[in-house]
Every structure is written in structure tokens, then in C-alpha cells.
Chains A and B, each alone.
Chain A
Amino acid sequence: MKTFFKNSVFFLLGLLIISFIIQSIVFALIKNLEVGELGVINKIMNGQINTEILICGASRAFVGINPKIIEEYSGMSCYNIALNGSRLGLQVPLLKAYLKHNKKPKILIQELGMYSLSVDKKVFAPYKFLPYLQESEIYEGLLKIDHRIWLNKFIPLMNLTYFNTNFQSILIKDYKRQLNKLGDYLIDGFHKNKNQWSIDEKGFFKNPHGIYNKIEHKGIQLLDEIIQICKENNIKLVLVNTPEYYKILNLYKHRDEIIKVFENKAKENDLKYLDYTEHEMTKNRNNFYNFTHLNARGANKFTNILCKNFINNKN
């Protein structure tokens, strides 16, 4: 029994050493990327963005707000650091890390939507953040979403499961692009999604129960935190609800209450809240690739509208 336990300890030690080596190699590969979503996180952490206008939010901002158009319209530099699959629980730590490593922007465009006030249930695509768990803003933010994240910080073996084939596919694709010098497929963090509408509407509306999005106290606290950060750093904050295909609006069960929260927060803090969910462009399915996400055509159209509504034209 003694020998067995001694061997087991040595075996586990060996496993930890091997996993540490693998983890170090993967982290080095991730940190060396300059393209794609991983490239955006690297640029944030390396302090390479430093723009005057910053776009934050989730996938709707990621595919919906084109920073190039804002740059051209305003004459101010602009970058989109919106995180696919995130809610405010992930967005706030990333914003904090951004402010730590980059110059403070003059304007922050924060995308909000029906999911914003319910907190992240898990860390989406955790591999993006694993190399940066030493950053206190990222680590503490992630810890609030998943308390087991400390295991990932201290036990490399835990991270291997996140380097799954989905991650491997992304890494291979991005490296191919980088090594062949094909440039970034993201435009300053914005994903130009050229897909056309592909959703079976009838099938979608078969769901008679609607979409429930809870308003969680933690979600409101996170929104307050963004407002506070902007106040402290003298950043003009603009809250934006990007367009959604109009037929989905009736499915949201708490839409009015959620919008009320956004409006009240804007009023209380003297902020602009721009809601485009009932804009006429939401009636045209050609602007979307699914119910909640704009395609490239819709994004360009929308960004132009957004510019006119709150940014001074450079001319």
C-alpha cells in the first residue's frame, strides 16, 4: 500500500509537470496571436489600443458596431472590445483591465440588451482569459462568475480541458492567417458578419413560452459599476441598445421592465440611452443574420445612424 501511494504521488507530480509545460506552450501561443478575438485580448493587455472611443458589450456589439465608420465620421480613433458570449460580469473586468493598460477613452459606447441584467452563468470561452489570470481585474471578475476558477490559476491540469478541439480549431485558423500575413479578419475588434438571414422563423415561434430574462440585483450592480468607472475616469458613457429583428420583441417577457432600468439609470446619471430596438431598420430582415444580430450590411447601416445621433461630425 505504501509503495502504491508513493508511486501515485510521483505519478501525479509527473502529470502536473507535464501539464504545466503544455500550459506554458499554449499560453505562449495565445499571447503571440495578433489576429481574431484572442488578438484583441492580447492588444488590451499589451496596452496597444489607446483609442478615443471604445465600444464595449456582447455579441450584438461585436457584430453590430463598426469602429471604422465611427472613426471616419468623428475623426476620433475607435476600437471595439465587445466580447462574444458575455454579459456584464465578463465585460466589467475586461473594461477595468483595458483602463489599467491603455489610455482612457473619451467616449465609451456600452451596448446593452435583454440579457445584460442577468449575470453570466459561466465563463464563456475561458481559454481567452486563462493566460491572464495573473491580472487581478480579470481574476477577481472571473471568480465572481465561477468560484472554481482558482483551480485554473493554480492547477495547470485543470486548464487542459479548456484547450479543447474548438479552441484548437480557432488557434490553428488564426495562426494560419497570421503566418500567411493575411491580416486580421476583425476590423479593429469588429466582426463583419456577411451571413444572410438563416433562421427558420416558424420553428422559432413554435416556442410558446417566450424568452425570460431575469433582472438580477448583481446585473444592476454591474451596470452601476460601469457608470461609476466612467464618472471616476471622466469618460462620456453612452448606453446603446442595438437593433433586433422586430418579431422577437414580443417574445421577451420582461422587456419593458429591463428598458425601464436602462432609462432610469441614464436619467439618474445624466447619460444618453439610445434604443434602436424599434427603429425602422429592424423591420427589414436583410439587415440581420438572426433575430438578435446584425449582419455586415445591417451593422454598417446602424453604425451610421448611431454616429448621427450622438457624435459630432468631424466636418
Chain B
Amino acid sequence: MLFNSISFLIFFPIVVVLYFLIPHKYRWIFLLAASYYFYMSWKPEYIILIIVSTLIDYFASLHMEKQKEKKKKKKFLILSLISNLGLLFTFKYYNFFSNSLNVLLNKFNIFYDSPTFKLLLPVGISFYTFQTLSYSIDVYRGTKKAEKHLGYFALYVSFFPQLVAGPIERSTRLLPQFFEKHKFNSQRVSDGLKLMAWGFFKKVVIADRVAALVNQVYNNSEAYGGIPLLLATYFFAVQIYCDFSGYSDIAIGAAQVMGFSLMDNFRRPYYSKNISEFWSRWHISLSTWFKDYLYIPLGGNRVSKPRWYANLFIVFLVSGLWHGANWTFVIWGALHGFYLIFALWTKNIREKIYNLFSIPKESLLKKYINVFVTFHLVLFAWVFFRANTVNDAFNIVSKMLNVDPITFIKHATTLNFNVNLGLSKYEIFIAICSIIIMEIIHLYQRHNRMREFLSSKPRLIRWSIYYLIIIFILIFGEFNLTQFIYFQF
């Protein structure tokens, strides 16, 4: 069930009303049933994977806690790791590795066809396996007590607002919330609904509109010149942000309506001044996951410099692979790893350059330059993320690098590209207006809270703004039920 579907618009209010009507001690049963129904409306049989993962982690953690010897604890941790990563490998990576092996062997004139399976990737598998993995590791480390109540644990794994695309919640944060009795709070419900509306705006008005242009150009990249490809890449940066942060807002808002608090996943990442900051503001729940469960166990930065750089690089390679079983994602991850290492390596040199031109440390100019450069480094890496193949990505990059910026700006300001971009001039205009509206709100939110701004206004003005937003979403939104990009990860 997609958030941007009529089914969800019927499902969600029913769940909320029943949730508050049901006595607290039975709510977990209802929420669990609703979450399983939510997942099963996509492909019913794949619920078995969630149940298997839940049961293994539940029992493994209980046994882990009972063991006094670390060695024995480790056995259960390994069981949890193998089962979760095994699921992930089978459904997501097996065919990729098998095909890559075939290609590699063929290069050495060894013709071996390792078998591939026709398996549909279970929606959200990367999210819920990572969520349960973090739980098992926390129990192993002793930072979390094993959950005794199977029902609450199953709900932690499958809680529907964040089941298919995060935020990847830690058990220490989310699990205790299921035990709390959430009373109906009109302010919280209203805030949650506003956040959901904001998420819908980003998803259906912006992401799904620009997606038409991005798909048209990137899926036929050989037919397009540098200018349309550059435009499509800028639009993809907007698309992926609005798609994923829109999903996160709907998820966080939906949970908030029912009284749950999910972690923030995005904090205006394109305003980051360096790549390290970008990763502390983009897909925060995944970045912190990798930091806690991969980077630090590898030694983090408390090792020799080469090892530190290697650790960073490994984390980003794995992060790339987490996003998809394709070399394009691996290269995307590697690029980010390289950016980070390069930034660390050249930190002193860059400072010297700024000093040479007498640019103060905290100057606005330096900040703008950094934001501009960081955004364009991220943009460059998005080419590999979005391109269908590595070859396509390199062709796109080579065409884009030949674009004269002045010519591009001329085309962009007149919206005249002289080719079929999959969107009419009018639709591009609407997309750009919507992006401007979003950025104005982003800028406003840097120093103010939208919630307080709205609350301070009389009801007539407040409601008029809400009506305007809803009508804007309905009239300028794309309702072709486009799946969220991160569902495929």
C-alpha cells in the first residue's frame, strides 16, 4: 500500500480512530494486524520473511541475554546476522553477484553460467533487516535488554508507518513507546497531519512531476545532449530529496498522529557545507546506523590515518551496495567515500587557500562557496545513482562536462530546450514554482518554526492556508501512484 494511494487515505483514518478507541492493552494486537495488512497489500506471501526475521531475532536475543560467556552470546549474534543478511543476500544481491561472477569468469575465457533466480525484491527488506540487526547487536553489546513480549517486538519490526522505507529506528527509542499509553492529543494529531500534508506536497507535487522528465531523459540518455542531461540531473537531485524526505515526513507524521515519535531523517541536506555534514543531514537514520554498527566496530577514527581512510571508504562502499545491487550504486558510494577522504586530506590546504585570499573562517562567502561545491559534488554522484548502467553514467557525465554554463542558464531561464523532455513547458514551470515554494519554506524554517507561525494566526487565515495547500496538492499533484524510490532499496 502506497502512502499516496486512495487505499492508504481510507486505511489510515480507520486505523487511527480504532487505535484510540481500543483499550491500551489490546492496541499492540491491532497495530500489529494493521501493519501486517499494510505490508500484505503489496505481496501477501512476503510477510513470511518479516515473520521469520522477527522470530529468529526474538529467540536469538532472548538466548543471547541468558548466556554469560561472550563466546556463546556471539553464536546467537551470528545466527541473527546470518539469517538477516542471508535474507538480504538471497533476495537482493544473489543475482547481482552471480551475474558479476559470470562476467568476470568470461573475461578469463571461463564460461560458467551460475544460476540466477527470478525473485521479486521484497519491499523494505533493507530497512527491516537493518532495524532487527541493530536490535540484536544492541542486545549482544548489552545496551538493550532483550524484549520478552513477542508481540511488542514483532510490532517494533513491522510498525507500518516506517516499515517499508524507514526511518530505521533503534529499539531503544521505538520499543519503549509501544508500552506507553498514548492518549488522544489534538495538537499532536494536528501537527502530525500537517507534517503528512507537507510530505505529500513534496512527493506528489514535486518528486512525481520532475520524475517524468528525469525518467524520459535518463532512460534515453543516448538521445539527449548535455543540456537536457544536466537539467535532468538537477531535477533528479530534487526528485530523490522530495521523494524520500516526503516519505519520511508522511511516516513521521502518521506515527505522530498515533502518539509515536520517530527520528528525523532529513535536515535540509543540500545546504550542507561539506560532505561530512551532508551525511549528518541526509538519511540520518541510515548514516547513524552505519556509524554505530560498522564504522565504529571497524575502529572509526581511533586508528592510523590509512586505516581510518580505509574505514570511511568501506562504510561508503557498503552504503552504496545497500542502496541497490548494481555497480552504479557501488560507484556512487565509492565517490562519497572518496569525497570524504579527499576533504580530510586537503583540509589544511583549503584553509591555506582561504587565508591567502583573506577570506575569514566564518564568512558568508566561504559558506556559500562550500554549499555550492558540496551540492555539486553530491549532484555529480547522483548521476551514477540514477543512471541505468555504468556506461550510461559515464556517457552522461562526458556530455554534461561539455555544457557551456551560460548556454545552460539561457535555456533554463526561457524553459526552451527544443527537445521532448517528457514534461511540457507549463509543467516544468509548475515544477520550478513548487520547488521555489519548498525552498522558501525551508529558508523560513531555518530560524522559525512553521508550527508556531501557523498557530499564531487567526483560524480563518490558518484554515485558508491549509485549504490552499490541500487544493494545490490535489490540482498540481501527480496521482499516477508512482512508487517511492527508496521502496526498491
Contact: A18 with B467, CB < 8 Å? yes
Q: Which residues of A contact B474 (CB under 8 A)?
A: 19, 157, 160-161
Interface residues of B in 123-168 (CB under 8 A from A): none
Q: Which residues of A contact B430 (CB under 8 A)?
A: 165
Can you name 8 extra interface pairs (CB under 8 A) apart from A15-B467, A157-B474, A161-B477?
Answer: A1-B186, A4-B190, A15-B470, A18-B467, A18-B471, A22-B475, A164-B477, A165-B426
List the 10 closest pairs (A to B, CB-CB), nearest first: A4-B186, A160-B474, A161-B479, A165-B427, A169-B426, A169-B424, A1-B184, A161-B474, A165-B430, A160-B475
Q: Which residues of B contact A165 (CB under 8 A)?
A: 209, 424, 426-427, 430, 476, 478
| Interface bits A1-38 vs B (CB < 8 Å: 1, else 0) | 10110000001001100110010000000000000000
Contact: A164 with B479, CB < 8 Å? yes
Interface residues of B in 424-448 (CB under 8 A from A): 424, 426-427, 430
Whole-angstrom distance between the Cβ of B463 and the nearest chain A Cβ: 6
Whole-angstrom distance between the Cβ of B254 and the nearest chain A Cβ: 17
Interface majority SS (helix, strand, loop, mixed), chain A: helix
When chains A and B are docked, how far (Å) is the Cα of A163 from the Cα of B479?
A: 11
Whole-angstrom distance between the Cβ of B216 and the nearest chain A Cβ: 14
Whole-angstrom distance between the Cβ of B259 and the nearest chain A Cβ: 13
When chains A and B are docked, how far (Å) is the Cα of A219 from the Cα of B479?
A: 28
Q: Which residues of B contact A157 (CB under 8 A)?
A: 474
Contact: A172 with B426, CB < 8 Å? yes
**A160 partner, pick from B426, B466, B471, beta carbons under 8 A:** B471
A312 proximal to B (CB < 8 A): no
When chains A and B are docked, how far (Å) is the Cα of A157 from the Cα of B6?
A: 13
**A3 partner, pick from B186, B209, B424, B478, beta carbons under 8 A:** B186
A48 proximal to B (CB < 8 A): no
Whole-angstrom distance between the Cβ of B346 and the nearest chain A Cβ: 45
Contact: B463 with A11, CB < 8 Å? yes
A168 proximal to B (CB < 8 A): yes
**Central interface residue in B427, B474, B477, B479, by most chain A CB within 10 Å:** B474
Q: Which residues of B contact A163 (CB under 8 A)?
A: 475
Contact: B470 with A164, CB < 8 Å? no
Whole-angstrom distance between the Cβ of A15 and the nearest chain B Cβ: 6
B314 proximal to A (CB < 8 A): no
Whole-angstrom distance between the Cβ of B205 and the nearest chain A Cβ: 10
B377 proximal to A (CB < 8 A): no
In the complex, number of A-B residue pairs with CB atoms less than 8 Å apart: 48
Interface size for A (C-beta < 8 A) is 20
Q: Considering the complex, give the chain B residue whose CB is closest to the CB of A200.
A: B223
When chains A and B are docked, how far (Å) is the Cα of A302 from the Cα of B184?
A: 69
Contact: A169 with B479, CB < 8 Å? no
Whole-angstrom distance between the Cβ of A252 and the nearest chain B Cβ: 25
Contact: B426 with A168, CB < 8 Å? yes
Contact: A11 with B466, CB < 8 Å? yes
B15 proximal to A (CB < 8 A): no
**A14 partner, pick from B6, B190, B467, B478, beta carbons under 8 A:** B467
| Interface bits A148-180 vs B (CB < 8 Å: 1, else 0) | 100000000100110111101100100000000
Q: Considering the complex, give the chain B residue whose CB is closest to the CB of A10.
A: B463
Q: Which residues of A contact B6 (CB under 8 A)?
A: 148
Q: Considering the complex, give the chain B residue whose CB is closest to the CB of A203.
A: B220
B189 proximal to A (CB < 8 A): yes
Q: Which residues of A contact B424 (CB under 8 A)?
A: 165, 169
Q: Which residues of A contact B470 (CB under 8 A)?
A: 15
| Interface bits B445-489 vs A (CB < 8 Å: 1, else 0) | 000000000000000000100110011001111110000000000
**Central interface residue in A19, A160, A163, A172, by most chain B CB within 10 Å:** A160
Whole-angstrom distance between the Cβ of B280 and the nearest chain A Cβ: 36
Contact: B471 with A169, CB < 8 Å? no
**9 CB < 8 A contacts A-B:** A1-B186, A15-B470, A18-B471, A22-B471, A161-B477, A164-B477, A164-B478, A165-B209, A165-B478
Q: Which residues of B contact A148 (CB under 8 A)?
A: 6
When chains A and B are docked, how far (Å) is the Cα of A15 from the Cα of B471?
A: 9
Contact: A14 with B426, CB < 8 Å? no
Q: Considering the complex, give the chain A residue whose CB is closest to the CB of B470.
A: A15
Q: Which residues of B contact A166 (CB under 8 A)?
A: 427
Whole-angstrom distance between the Cβ of A51 and the nearest chain B Cβ: 33
**Central interface residue in A1, A19, A163, A164, by most chain B CB within 10 Å:** A164
When chains A and B are docked, how far (Å) is the Cα of A1 from the Cα of B188?
A: 12
Whole-angstrom distance between the Cβ of A84 and the nearest chain B Cβ: 17
Interface residues of A in 119-169 (CB under 8 A from B): 148, 157, 160-161, 163-166, 168-169
Q: Considering the complex, give the chain A residue whose CB is closest to the CB of B428.
A: A165
| Interface bits B326-358 vs A (CB < 8 Å: 1, else 0) | 000000000000000000000000000000000
Q: Which residues of B contact A11 (CB under 8 A)?
A: 463, 466
When chains A and B are docked, how far (Å) is the Cα of A197 from the Cα of B184?
A: 62
When chains A and B are docked, how far (Å) is the Cα of A3 from the Cα of B189?
A: 13
Interface residues of B in 229-246 (CB under 8 A from A): none
When chains A and B are docked, how far (Å) is the Cα of A160 from the Cα of B476?
A: 9
Whole-angstrom distance between the Cβ of A183 and the nearest chain B Cβ: 22
Q: Which residues of A contact B477 (CB under 8 A)?
A: 161, 164
Q: Considering the complex, give the chain B residue whose CB is closest to the CB of A1.
A: B184
Q: Which residues of A contact B190 (CB under 8 A)?
A: 4
When chains A and B are docked, how far (Å) is the Cα of A16 from the Cα of B297?
A: 56
Whole-angstrom distance between the Cβ of B101 and the nearest chain A Cβ: 25
When chains A and B are docked, how far (Å) is the Cα of A157 from the Cα of B473?
A: 12
When chains A and B are docked, how far (Å) is the Cα of A3 from the Cα of B184?
A: 12
Interface residues of B in 285-344 (CB under 8 A from A): none
When chains A and B are docked, how far (Å) is the Cα of A164 from the Cα of B424?
A: 13
Interface residues of B in 1-46 (CB under 8 A from A): 6
Whole-angstrom distance between the Cβ of A29 and the nearest chain B Cβ: 13
When chains A and B are docked, how far (Å) is the Cα of A22 from the Cα of B479?
A: 19
When chains A and B are docked, how far (Å) is the Cα of A19 from the Cα of B189?
A: 24
When chains A and B are docked, how far (Å) is the Cα of A4 from the Cα of B430?
A: 34
When chains A and B are docked, how far (Å) is the Cα of A226 from the Cα of B136?
A: 66
Whole-angstrom distance between the Cβ of A197 and the nearest chain B Cβ: 15
Q: Which residues of A contact B478 (CB under 8 A)?
A: 164-165
